[in-house]
Structure 1
Amino acid sequence: MAASPAGAQPGLGLALWGVEPVRTLAANAALAEQAGFESAWIIDSQLLCREVYVSLAACLMRTTTLRVATGVTQPATRHLSVVASAAATLQEMAPGRVMLGFGTGFSSLKTIGKPAVRIDELERFTGALRRLLNGQGVTFDHGVEGSISWLRQPAGVPIHYAASRPRMTRSAGAHADGVILLQGTAPDLVARAIAWLDEGAETAGRPRGSVEISCWVPFSQDVDRRKALDRVRSRVAGALMQANPDWFEGGERDAIVALKKQYAVGDHAAASAAHAAIVPDSLVRKFAIAGDAQEVREQVRRLRANPRVSRIILNPQIPGPGALPIDQVIRDFGEAVLPHL
């Protein structure tokens, strides 16, 4: 998939966290479809959220056009054959409405004491997964060969890499159908990420622009701008855990260094966390879309104006004490922002 066709507006996706019952999550996906979102990205962190593939199926059953995706999963906690069967089953349920987002793992692995997946492991996993989804056989451990016996036709499920650093972004350019950039919203940060993506594509002999670009963006909207900034701070903190402090200067660099020392991974799926107070407003502005309705419109328009961006995935505050209900977040955005874009 490439960038949006000339003149087309980038789509809007919504991140949904399974910290509420799956029926609630699916109802929010249906509401997002009604509001005008084109996709829902469901978090996979097995101790912090409900099971992701069950959640995706529930969302598909409650919607008719909305695309759904893992946002994101990783290869360490599920066998390749299990992921392939799950993806093919979802694609059978709703052809053309399923995507897979993969990363090297953060909360889903840290909470069970496992290290992040190596990038080369993810690349090999991607190749084998594509072969299985195409109806081909692969060689598993100990030389055992296998394929999906019930698959009657190829299940073309796009694979997106979540990328926060140069190596992973270049890998997405070389191996993925799409990239999910968790690297900020400031124009210079987005431009740097796209340059890394193009380097990876060119090294692999792929044309520049052949990989669909989604920007994963912490998001908060409120008539009170201060409340909007404070509500999104925990999500920005999660994004900054993947950033290199040396990319920043002064107080911003010091804040990221301190955050990496104090980040409580058990609070990764919390509505608010003590470590969020470390994040200064300047980094919130560089990494998030946050403010009142008018400010949110302007920030969305600015990011959408980048001709390489195909999708903006809004990641709101997670449900919990002090957080706005997700259905309200969706309605407020759908009523005060979407009609004016």
Structure 2
Amino acid sequence: MDIGLVLQTDPPARLLVERMQRAERAGFTHGWTFDSVVLWQEPFVVHSQILAQTERLVVGPMVTNPGTRAWEVTASTFATLNDMFGNRTVCGIGRGDSAMRVAGRRPATLDRLSAAMHAIKELAEGREAEVDGTVLRIPWIRPGARLPVWTGAYGPKALALTGRQADGFILQLADPFLTEWMVKAVRDAAVAAGRDPSEVTICVAAPAYVTEDDSPGALAHAREQCRWFGGMVGNHVADLVAKYGEHSGLVPDALTAYIKDRQGYDYSHHGRAGNPDTAFVPDEIVDRFCVIGPPEAQLAKLEQLRALGVDQFAVYAMHDAVESTIDAYGASVIPQLS
């Protein structure tokens, strides 16, 4: 199982680059960032520095979207980075949450997401694609250029799209039951589309907080540092409930039931420990969705996920123990998973 690191592009960018270097030394294979340019700094500028100052790390957004950038710009950006540093990027993409809503836009439809995924991949790999009615090709891209496109998804239609089209699936939670359910949906869709389901890379992304022991105090602190994640996932869950209704059978109640007391969401606190809009998230959800506890507990949960077909676990490190978590994974988790 690969291990990735997910960070927000808070200033100073130098610190983020240093943490990505630290992660590469510790054995992490992927470096991811958020892409929400009003809330944080422009990620692709930072990606160029990460790539320049690491040797092997694969870098990408978790996730970009079809609405805040023209598709040919996104494709050219990835292609430029790959031309400069080798094929070391991956395009994580979804409908858009914070990036779109902070700018007063609605998340993209799945049809638009699908069209963007196709166009970005084709253009970045040197082939023709249609963008807004015009057929384009980027002429300077060399043979051998590659850009994997991984889709973030939760709902049944998005999971089906992922299985039909994407090179990878990003699931932003680490609950084994939900992981099994959603991975099966993606693989079933891949089979139905005539694809080999093993060709779809499975990436689970969630906060990991490594404690020294499993004492109540240590676990309580870790939960408070990671509770924000249940609120972030809750934004997507609220969309699913609005679309499919409660107890629809199309989305597991194990995913949707916890947002019943959700009152709203202020994106100024998005993705941050102490987010006041996540008080509705119970400890049970934090424990299910995140990976919390000493190294042996981290390994036990990651082994569960690996047994379900997960190829990468991406560590969301938006808490007060970023560097100690990187170091703990490098010392006690990654060697065991290798």
Q: Same fold (TM over 0.5)?
A: yes
Select 1:328's aligned residue among 317, 321, 324. Answer: 324
Matches within 5 A, 1:176-187: 176-182=166-172, 184-187=173-176
Worse-matched range after superposition: 290-299 or 238-247: 238-247
Q: In the alignment, is residue 152 of structure 1 matched against residue 142 of structure 2?
A: yes
Q: Give the superposition deviation at 1:229.
A: 1.5
Select 2:63's aligned residue among 59, 72, 77. Answer: 72
Q: In the alignment, is residue 313 of structure 1 matched against residue 314 of structure 2?
A: yes
With over 3 angstroms needed to count, the CA separation of the structure-2 counterparts of 1:26 and 1:285, relative to structure 1, is same
Select 1:268's aligned residue among 255, 263, 270. Answer: 270
Question: Structure 1, residues 39-78: CA drift from partner, whole Å, max 9, x if none?
Answer: 0111101111111111111110110011111111001011
Native 8 Å contact 1:48 1:269 kept in 2 = no
Worse-matched range after superposition: 115-124 or 125-134: 125-134
Native 8 Å contact 2:226 2:273 kept in 1 = no
Separation (CA, whole Å) in 2 of partners of 1:304 and 1:312: 9
Q: Give the superposition deviation at 1:95.
A: 1.6
Letter in 2 for 1:186: D
Question: Structure 1, residues 209-242: CA drift from partner, whole Å, max 9, x if none?
Answer: 2211111122212231211121111123212322
Native 8 Å contact 2:37 2:99 kept in 1 = yes
Q: Give the superposition deviation at 1:262.
A: 2.5
DSSP 3-state at the match of 1:68? strand
Native 8 Å contact 1:214 1:313 kept in 2 = yes
Q: In the alignment, is residue 131 of structure 1 matched against residue 122 of structure 2?
A: yes
Aligned position for 1:41:
32
Aligned position for 1:17:
8
Aligned position for 1:283:
285
Native 8 Å contact 1:218 1:232 kept in 2 = yes
Select 1:106's aligned residue among 80, 97, 104. Answer: 97
Native 8 Å contact 2:95 2:107 kept in 1 = yes
Separation (CA, whole Å) in 1 of partners of 2:192 and 2:111: 15
Q: In the alignment, is residue 97 of structure 1 matched against residue 88 of structure 2?
A: yes
Letter in 1 for 2:129: V
Q: Give the superposition deviation at 1:187.
A: 2.6
Select 2:181's aligned residue among 192, 200, 203. Answer: 192
Question: Structure 1, residues 16-46: CA drift from partner, whole Å, max 9, x if none?
Answer: 1112321111111100000111101111011
With over 3 angstroms needed to count, the CA separation of the structure-2 counterparts of 1:34 and 1:172, relative to structure 1, is same
Aligned position for 2:190:
201
Q: Give the superposition deviation at 1:294.
A: 2.7
With over 3 angstroms needed to count, the CA separation of the structure-2 counterparts of 1:269 and 1:186, relative to structure 1, is closer
Select 1:299's aligned residue among 271, 289, 301. Answer: 301
DSSP 3-state at the match of 2:236? coil
Q: In the alignment, is residue 174 of structure 1 matched against residue 175 of structure 2?
A: no
Separation (CA, whole Å) in 2 of partners of 1:202 and 1:116: 28
Worse-matched range after superposition: 132-141 or 79-88: 132-141
Q: Percent identity?
A: 28
Separation (CA, whole Å) in 1 of partners of 2:94 and 2:15: 26
Equivalent residues, number: 321
DSSP 3-state at the match of 1:172? helix
DSSP 3-state at the match of 2:50? helix
Aligned position for 1:6:
none
Separation (CA, whole Å) in 2 of partners of 1:340 and 1:164: 30
Separation (CA, whole Å) in 1 of partners of 2:314 and 2:233: 13
Q: Give the superposition deviation at 1:254.
A: 5.8
Question: Structure 1, residues 240-268: CA drift from partner, whole Å, max 9, x if none?
Answer: 3222464337xx96641222x32222211
Native 8 Å contact 1:220 1:317 kept in 2 = no
Q: In the alignment, is residue 232 of structure 1 matched against residue 222 of structure 2?
A: no
Letter in 2 for 1:110: R
With over 3 angstroms needed to count, the CA separation of the structure-2 counterparts of 1:136 and 1:186, relative to structure 1, is closer
Aligned position for 2:215:
none
User: For structure 1, which runs of at least 5 residues remain unmatched after alignment?
Assistant: 1-9
Where has structure 1 moved over 4 Å in runs of 4 or more? none
Separation (CA, whole Å) in 2 of partners of 1:104 and 1:187: 24
DSSP 3-state at the match of 2:188? helix
Native 8 Å contact 1:218 1:236 kept in 2 = no
DSSP 3-state at the match of 1:242? helix
Native 8 Å contact 2:202 2:311 kept in 1 = yes
DSSP 3-state at the match of 1:314? strand
Q: Give the superposition deviation at 1:339.
A: 3.8
Q: Give the superposition deviation at 1:292.
A: 2.5
